[in-house]
Each structure stands twice: as structure tokens, then as C-alpha cells.
Structure 1
Amino acid sequence: MAAGQPPYLRVADDLRRRIGAGEWTVGERLPSRAQLALDYGVGPNVLQKAQERLIIEGLLEGRAGSGTDVRAPRERLRMVRSRHREWRQDSPFRSDMNEQGRRGSWESHSEARVPAPEPIAQRLAIEPGDLCVRTVYEFLADGQPVQLSESWEPMAITGDTPVVLPELGPFAGRGVVERMRSIGVVIETAVEIPRPARATQAQANLLGISLGDLVTEIERTYFDTEGRPVETANIVVPDVRWEIAYEIPIDRQGGTAV
């Protein structure tokens, strides 16, 4: 067990290793908490916290009054990122969930006239402090949180239009591409940069995972036909529940994909 970690994380890591090695199989009951606490030389509260972490991860299943069992692995779903997802007559997220037989929904909050911080200004090719609309989202599948997003749009583009607030007006809930098209801004490309990260406490609370759990952060920016960035977003996806796949179109006129 690695030094420097809190005791409950060291115990959780070793229990995870032992389960992975097949010491206990799916459906098999672990020794009592008292016995495991004695084996690891920790108090019962430390052992309980370690097991609770593995329950959240889906490795263990607690049964009231009858101990803790090894759980069958959770289904890890695939989230496909594709150029085609932006051209459907609905929100891209809701369409993605419909294809999986799930009900997609979201909660959001927008603020107008928010000065762009330096990193966002660079991504939008505007000056730091230029006014934007900032919208935070919590995306749900069948009522369960699956994704977070923070979106920024320059008010120089949308400020005097009916679509200044993404979730109000005639194109509410239709996605960035549809909204921008309605005011004559044609989005041609999207650039996404995925990075592994660890969940902050705020992200963990919203996604129902633990502080420090692995997430995928996607930095996405939309560009119009002139190469102007018109929206950028930070998207957070919990790795324990979703794997991300990218669909890459191949030029059938003889081009080669590298």
C-alpha cells in the first residue's frame, strides 16, 4: 500500500487489488468489517469508509444486516462524439440518450454580461474582460447525473438577438449549432481536446462520485465558416460510467486518414 495516502484509501486500494486478483468472486461475501479492520490494523471507521468508497465505485454491494458482497461489474456505457450528432433536429445530448433508450434532460443556469477570464478569452479570440454569457449545465439520463458543462458565448455575437440566453427564447434546448444558425452564424467545425483529470469536490457532489475519482474533461470550441470561435465549453464526464469514442469520417474521394 502506498505511503502518504489516507488510511482508508490505502485499505480501499488493497481491497480493490485483492478483488481484481480473484480472492473474492462476484456474489461472494467479504469477511466481516471487524475481521478486516483487525487484518489491516485500522479502526472500524477506517474500514467502513474504505468499503463505502468501493461501493460507490461499483465493486462492492452492501446488504443491510448481512455484510458486504462483491458486486458484478457496472455497465460502462459508450458516449460517441461525432460530427453527425450536431445536425439532428433536437439537442445533441438528448438525441444521444434517445439512441440508448434513455431519457435525456438537463438543468441549467445562465448569467449574462460576465467578463471573460484569460483562458476563455484566448479560446474565443476576444479580449480578457469582454462580456460573455456563461451557462452551467448538469445533464441527466433517466434522472441520474451523467455530465457537467460550462459554456461561454461572446455577447458581441448573440447580445442583440433572441437567442442570447441558450435555454430561453425560440431555440431553447436545441443546441449551439441550431441556435447560431437561426441568427445567421453557421458553425462549420468543432475542436475537442479530451484530458484525464480528477474530480473536484463540487464536481463529485453533482455527479454522485467521490472526490478525486477519474473524470474526462473535454475542452470544446465551435468555429464558424470564417474560422471565428463562437462558443467554448468545459465538459466533465465521469470515467467510471462512460467511455468516450470519437467517430472520424473518412474521405471517400481518395483522401487518406492519418
Structure 2
Amino acid sequence: MPREAPYLEVADSLRARILAGEWAVGSRLPSRAQLADEYGVGRNVTQRAMDRLIIEGLLEGRAGSGTYVRKPRERMRMVRSRHRELRGGSPFRADMKEREQAGTWEAHSQARVPAPAPIAERLAISLGDLCVTTRYEFLSDGRPVQLSESWEPMAITDGTPIVLPEMGPLAGMGVVERMHSIGVQVETAVEVPRPARATQAQANLLGISVGDLVLEIERTYYDSDGRPVETADIVVPDVRWEVAYEFGIDGAQ
């Protein structure tokens, strides 16, 4: 078996010592020079090891002070299931209401945006076909919860009251209910979750650090004919939320 990179070995050792309680929450770790001497490696190795543990959320760096054991943040569970789409209105607002929190969001839509190649493929339309794209920042009791960028083909919604998701009589009512109002029956949602690291822009909006773990969910809604009617990229900060999927079992006794 190939040997792990030295900084990963040091990170593994420091992680084990932190979890064993050698340094309590809020305690300052020895300097990277001291740790380099202890492990017999260069300072750049201990710096990379500590950077990795900062990304994982075990440590935090304080300018001019050092590196400290970070207080674990409470993680709440976000359940994604068919139940979300059966409550009417906004699934996000209903999710937050179940937690006795106020779910709100800020949104900005732009119409007549040519579909880039990845979006065109997901929506089964031609490259450059016109879409409405909407960027969302979702909040719970005023705190950022998740980000989303949604795309809807204008071939489906153009000339209808729902062409802009956050305007008109069904503003903020969710894709399923909005599409139903123009005779499009959404039947299936497909989600593809992928782990990622927060970009600078995502970190700024979510109030987390660059490089923090996030869950990126690629979601696409399909109508009863199997036609994609909306696709979105959702970003959830891992440090605050764990995402669980609930499945109904057909024919269960």
C-alpha cells in the first residue's frame, strides 16, 4: 500500500488527539513550529495538516493568536421526501414551519437567458434555448440555510402568469403548484447529491468559511410525460445541516 502524504498522517494524528480530548474545546494548539519538531516534519507539513482540520471544522484559526479547537456547531436535519411536495405552497417554508422557524427567501429572476450546455442537457432542450433563471438565498429566522439556482424553459411558461417564479398570483408557491396552475402535472423529482467545498461566493452568502463542506444537490422535476420542466442546483452547508432522504415503500404491510 502506498504511504499517505506526510501532512495527512499528521492530520490523522492531530484529529485523533483532539477527539480523545487532549485539547479541550477552545484550547490553543501548539504552534506549527512546535508540532513540526514533535512530528519530525517541516513547518509547511504541519500547516497543511492544520489547514485540513480547519476545513473539516475541528479547528479554527484566529489572526495573530493561533489555532484553536473549534466548538462543534449544532447540525439540524433536513428531510427530503415525497411528503415535501404534498403539503402545498412552498416546500421550504413548510420545512421550516415544522421546526417552528420562519422560512423566508430572497430571489432574483432573469428571463430570456440562453441555456448553457449542462442545463440544456438536463432540461432536454437545445443549446441556447431561452429559459428563466432564478437565484435564491433561503433563510430560517433570518439566518442563511441554503442557496439555489433554478432554470425553467420558457417554452413551457412563456405567456403564462407564472413565467417569473416570484411574481404573479402564485409567487413563492413552489414549482409543483405553479406548474399545476398551467396544466403541467409534475410527477417525479430526481435529486443527485454530491459533496463539495464552498466557493468564496457561496461562503459569503451562507456565512461559512471558504472550503467548508457543502452538499450540492442537482434536482430536476419531470412532468407526467417524462419531460423535464425545471432543474436547480441547491447548496446546503454541511456544518449546519445534515440531509436525509425518506422513501415510501410500495405495498408495505
| TM-score bracket for this pair, using the shorter chain length | 0.7 to 0.9
Q: Distance in 2 between matches of 1:102 and 1:58?
A: 25
Match of 2:94 in 1: 95
Match of 1:200 in 2: 199
Match of 1:220 in 2: 219
Shift of 1:61: 8.1
- Percent of aligned pairs with the same amino acid: 70
SS in 2 for 1:195: strand
Match of 1:169 in 2: 168
Shift of 1:69: 6.6
Match of 2:128 in 1: 129
Match of 1:117 in 2: 116
Deviation string, structure 1 residues 166-203 (Cα, Å, up to 9, x no partner): 00000111100111111111101100111111212211
- Letter in structure 2 aligned against 1:36: S
Match of 2:23 in 1: 24
Question: 1:39 is matched with which residue: 34, 40, 44?
Answer: 34
Alignment of 1:1-258 (within 5 A): 16-26=15-25, 29-30=27-28, 36=31, 38-40=33-35, 54=54, 59=58, 70=69, 72-252=71-251
**What RMSD over aligned residues (CA atoms) do the two structures have, in Å?**
3.2
SS in 2 for 1:202: helix
Does the C-alpha gap of structure 1 residues 69 and 193 become closer, same or farther in structure 2, counting only changes over 3 Å? closer
Q: Displaced runs of 4+ in structure 1, greater than 3 A?
A: 9-18, 40-43, 56-63, 66-72
Give structure 1 stretches of 5+ with no counterpart: none
Give structure 2 stretches of 5+ with no counterpart: 37-41
SS in 2 for 1:235: strand
Q: Distance in 2 between matches of 1:81 and 1:252?
A: 21
Q: Distance in 2 between matches of 1:146 and 1:253?
A: 34
SS in 2 for 1:249: coil
SS in 1 for 2:204: helix
SS in 1 for 2:202: helix
In the alignment, is the contact (CA less than 8 A) between 1:11 and 1:40 conserved in 2? no
Deviation string, structure 1 residues 51-74 (Cα, Å, up to 9, x no partner): 9x85x97646899xx998745422
- Letter in structure 1 aligned against 2:146: Q
Shift of 1:112: 0.1
Q: Distance in 2 between matches of 1:11 and 1:139?
A: 38
Does the C-alpha gap of structure 1 residues 151 and 57 become closer, same or farther in structure 2, counting only changes over 3 Å? same
Q: Distance in 2 between matches of 1:145 and 1:14?
A: 34
Deviation string, structure 1 residues 221-246 (Cα, Å, up to 9, x no partner): 00111111100001111111111111
Shift of 1:20: 2.0
Shift of 1:17: 4.8
Tell me the matched-pair count.
240
- Letter in structure 1 aligned against 2:136: Y
TM-score, with length taken from structure 1: 0.80
TM-score, with length taken from structure 2: 0.82
SS in 1 for 2:31: helix
Shift of 1:253: 6.2
